[in-house]
Structure 1
Amino acid sequence: MFSIEERWSNWAGTFTTPKAMIYEPASIEEVSLLIKQVTQKQQTIRAMGARHSFSGVAKPDDVGVSLTRMRGLIQLDKLKQEATFWAGTHLYEIGPLLEEHGYGLANMGDIDVQSLAGATSTGTHGTGITLGSLSSQVTRWGLVDGEGNYREVTREDPLAQSLHIGLGLFGIVVQITIKVVPVYGLAYESSRITVQDTLAQFQSIIETNRHAEWYYFPGQSQMQLKVMNAVPYEQLERQPTKPFDNFIENQVLQGMSSLCKRMPQTTSLVSKISAKAVPIGARQDVSYRIFASPRQVKFAECEYAMPLHYFEAFLEELHFTMSRELFHVHFPIECRTQKGEAGILSPTQQQDSAFFAFHMYKGMPYKRYFRYMDHLLQKYGGRAHFGKMNRYTQCELKKQYSDIDIFLTHQQQCDPNSVFMTEYMRKILI
């Protein structure tokens, strides 16, 4: 089993550790052996996913595990429409693998570099009021628990409600079976819309489009609206992303972000320019090529779910707040929707929900901005995404997640020696 001692950092650089032993097992047996060794040494172990979480959920204290050598499609059951993958498979690998067999995922987010285990363990989601998160698409987990035993858990098992968003606390997930659908295309359209028109048309937009998301530019009255709707695969007119669009979304954004970092007083002007430069256009492609966009500019992020009916009221207050220029922020605020789903730690808590994501360019101060939004969102029932920056404490979790004690009981059953309970997770849960 390959191993290396190195300094660990997540993608955004928001969490680091000066030294950790990183292992890359290639089999379930090697994962089991590693957990038993860590237990004997009274250390902790953390599955790191693709290191794309903004919170400390993937941060190892002693030992980190990368499943990069456990990737790929294991089995496709066409009768049940289920596919089983090695848990280290990246999301960007899943689309092409399924397309070869005539299938795809029902929904994805706009970033696809995460591992399947990491994405489903933290509640990664896309947008669409009739669609759930990636976690909701899982039908079976194969994991190695805190005693080194391999076990399989299906949706019928009471443990599934905890594993739905398990945060890597029940074991190292090595295999995941996920629901799939017949392969399909998406017709994508980007347009400009005002805040007032968004407030007036929100319900009709989410009801008449399979996917809809908005980008609010801080302090500006004009937003970007992106909608996506299904197209039969055989009727698809593929139009790949234009290089110029990638140039605008990455190289130009990088340049403007660097300017804002050096001269924070320019953030309002940059936000204004960005709002006026919203691209207008449409294209079609197979679904996984439409869902995801390259993200080369690094940032810190927090995201909150709230009951759907609060969307308009919160957007209106957000616009009022950001128009006062309280913060030097130029990154747009992403607004999405999701169908409510079961799962003890699902931030939707079974309610159809709106999600608002707040970003700050890497190296720019974000704590006051994120703290303010956290406070503002409390009156709207906001619950933070576990994979993003958050202010969760044990007290807050008990307030916001009524079945947290069941979650903790299940965790102790799977991990009696607390081998997966890192310092960060203890801070939140205990």
Structure 2
Amino acid sequence: MSTHRNWAGNVEYAARAYYRPSSVDELRELVAGSDRIRAVGSGHSFNRLGDTTGDLVTLTGLPATVQLDEHRRVVHVPAALRYGDLATWLHERGYALANLASLPHISVAGAVATGTHGSGETIGNLATAVAGLELVTADGGLRTVGRGDADFPGMVVSLGVLGIVTRLTLDVVPTFDVRQYVRLDLPRAALDAALASAYSVSVFTDWRSTLGTQVWRKQLANQPAPPADWLGTTAADRPWHPVPGMPVVNCTEQLGMAGPWHERLPHFRLGFTPSNGDELQSEYHLSRAVAADALAALDEVAHLIAPVALTSELRTIAADELWLSPQHGRDSLAIHLTWIADPTKVLPVVVEVERALAPFAPRPHWGKVFTITRAEIAPTYPRWPDFAALVARLDPTAKFHTEELERLFPR
């Protein structure tokens, strides 16, 4: 087969074959006849969680029908649809999603399966909008689950280990407008107030000081602009990019200009390269209650982080009840690190970051670079044993397992 890599280029998939079925029935036949199989989405994971030595399947050839149910306030979408394309489609019909990630380029199913998130004190991650799933199971069967079903909380953030999701049903809300303001040089003492100050807030830092170098405030358009002296910061008088030196044209509109939700909640525009492009990423989710102490612990290794980090982002996400969601049972602070694209320099620093955060029960983002072991991760998830039992029941031959998943959920 030809070489296939993830978006960052740091993972070359080891699959023996690569398929693009054109129908759900064709996908079901592939799954039933394979001993090892995985679905690949937009490739925005930075580890080997989605890799397999078996068959790799892209769902971009399946029917791309999107159906809006205005009565139930839900939309039915194909798994491979990108959030940016879905958002445009919804906005044209007067609807929105409550939250979006910083990149609109990611596929719906992949983002949901890994617990990917946006930002907001009262907003859950993207998976919390899921009202139902359709998936192909290990025997080639087709199963549909929805809220209220016993297995549902364990099947949404599933890491792709329970089956291949073909369609999802998502909650929608009426469309809305957002204004985005960037503020500079936030004092650490004002971090909590900043994160709680708007609909969606991101604080960027370079770990060279305890200041937040940039604060991206995404506020509802009908809310007043921040005052000139807001939390001791200064207002940006030009657009900014989170990564110094990158072109600001890649980023969504700033300077307080009102616009539709899907053109402000992401950091990056759909038609441009997101973030830096040539990078690695790590991210850790901690209880909001320990945020100050966790950041103080990272200050001790900031001299190691700064030389290999392109930028770092702090965000908050509301708690949920999905078994493998990084926000399960706790309002969370996400500490995101965008690294240079050099694993030999980055991985030793990742180890030190994880050592510093260990007392605070960190949960790594499932699709990013981490070295924390099963023994360290599992105790932070109260429903871990229930999920492991669900995996054993729905995929007894480990058809959807990968080498990474074997470490997390050994047979």
Q: Shorter-normalised TM-score: what interval?
A: 0.7 to 0.9
1:326 is displaced (CA, Å) by: 6.4
Give the direction of change, closer, same or farther, for the CA distance of 1:198–1:80 in structure 2 (3 Å limit).
farther
Q: CA deviation at 1:221?
A: 4.2
Deviation at 1:59, TM superposition (A): 1.2
Equivalents in 1 of 2:331, 2:206: separation in Å? Answer: 25
The correspondence for 1:408, drawn from 370, 383, 388, is 388
Of 376, 385, 399, which aligns to 1:419? 399
On the 8 A contact 1:143/1:172 being kept in 2, the answer is yes
Q: How does 1:121-160 map to 2 (within 5 A)?
A: 121-160=113-152
1:30 maps to which residue? Answer: 26
Contact kept in structure 1, 2:243 and 2:310, CA below 8 Å: no
Classify the secondary structure of the residue corresponding to 1:226: strand
Partner amino acid, structure 2, of 1:346: S
1:6/1:18 contact within 8 Å kept = no
Identity %: 23
Q: How many residues get paired?
A: 382
Letter paired with 1:363: D
Task: Report the Cα offset of residue 187 of structure 1.
Answer: 0.7
**1:351 aligned to 2:330?**
yes
Within the candidate set 187, 198, 206, 1:217 is matched to: 206
* Aligned residue identity for 1:284: A
CA contact (8 A) 1:145 1:151 kept: yes
- 2:219 corresponds to which of 202, 226, 229: 229
1:114 CA displacement: 1.3
Q: Is the 8 A contact 1:73 1:97 kept in 2?
A: no
Residue of structure 2 equivalent to 1:290: 264
CA deviation map 1:151-210 (0-9, x unaligned): 10011112112112100011110000000110111110001133xx332x2333333311
The CA RMSD over aligned residues, in Å, is 2.2
TM-score computed with the length of structure 1 as normaliser = 0.83
Q: How far did residue 23 of structure 1 move? A: 0.7
CA distance in 1, matches of 2:291, 2:63: 38
Change (3 A) 1:409 1:284: same
Q: Does 1:70 align with 2:62?
A: yes
1:385 Cα offset (Å): 0.9
Q: In structure 2, what is the Cα distance between the partners aligned to 1:37 and 1:326?
A: 46
Contact 1:189 1:282 in 2 (8 A): yes
Code of the residue aligned with 1:36 in structure 2: it is A
Matched ranges for 1:22-421 at <5 A: 22-38=18-34, 43-70=35-62, 72-194=64-186, 197-199=187-189, 201-222=190-211, 223-231=213-221, 245=239, 252-253=245-246, 281-292=255-266, 293=268, 294-322=274-302, 324-325=303-304, 328-363=307-342, 365-421=345-401
Secondary structure (helix, strand or coil) at the match of 1:366 reads helix
Matched ranges for 1:4-19 at <5 A:
5-19=1-15
The answer (yes or no) to whether the contact 1:340–1:351 under 8 Å persists in 2 is: yes
Task: Give the 3 Å change call, closer, same or farther, for CA 366–326 of structure 1 in structure 2.
Answer: closer
SS at match of 1:151: strand
Residue 392 of structure 1 deviates from its aligned partner by 4.0
Q: Per-residue CA shift, 1:404-429, capped at 9, x if unaligned?
A: 22112211222222210122211222
Distance 1:370 1:325, change over 3 A: closer
Judging by fraction of residues, say which structure has more helix.
Answer: 1
Q: Which amino acid aligns with 1:225?
A: V
CA separation in 1, counterparts of 2:305 and 2:283?
19
TM-score (norm 2): 0.87
- What is the letter of the counterpart of residue 342 of structure 1? E
| Structure 1 unaligned blocks of 5 or more | 233-243, 255-278
**What is the letter of the counterpart of residue 343 of structure 1?**
L
CA change 1:338–1:152 in 2 (3 A) is same
Does structure 1 conserve the Cα–Cα contact (< 8 Å) formed by 2:75 and 2:169?
Answer: yes
Query: What is the DSSP-based 3-state SS (H/G/I as helix, E as strand, rest coil) of the residue aligned with 2:2?
Result: strand
Flag structure 2 segments of 5+ consecutive residues without an equivalent.
223-237, 248-252, 269-273
| Alpha carbons of structure 1 residues 405 and 317: separation in structure 2 relative to 1, 3 Å | closer
Report if aligned partners of 2:7, 2:44 keep a CA contact under 8 Å in 1: yes
Name the amino acid aligned to 1:106. Answer: A
Instruction: State the distance in 2 between where 1:206 and 1:373 align.
Output: 22
Bigger CA drift: 293-302 or 90-99? 293-302
- Cα deviation per residue 1:202-255 (whole Å; 9 max; x = unaligned)? 3333333111110011213432111111236xxxxxxxxxxx958x6679339x
Task: Provide closer, same or farther for how the CA distance between residues 49 and 349 of structure 1 changes in structure 2, counting only shifts above 3 A.
Answer: same
Amino acid at match of 2:16: A
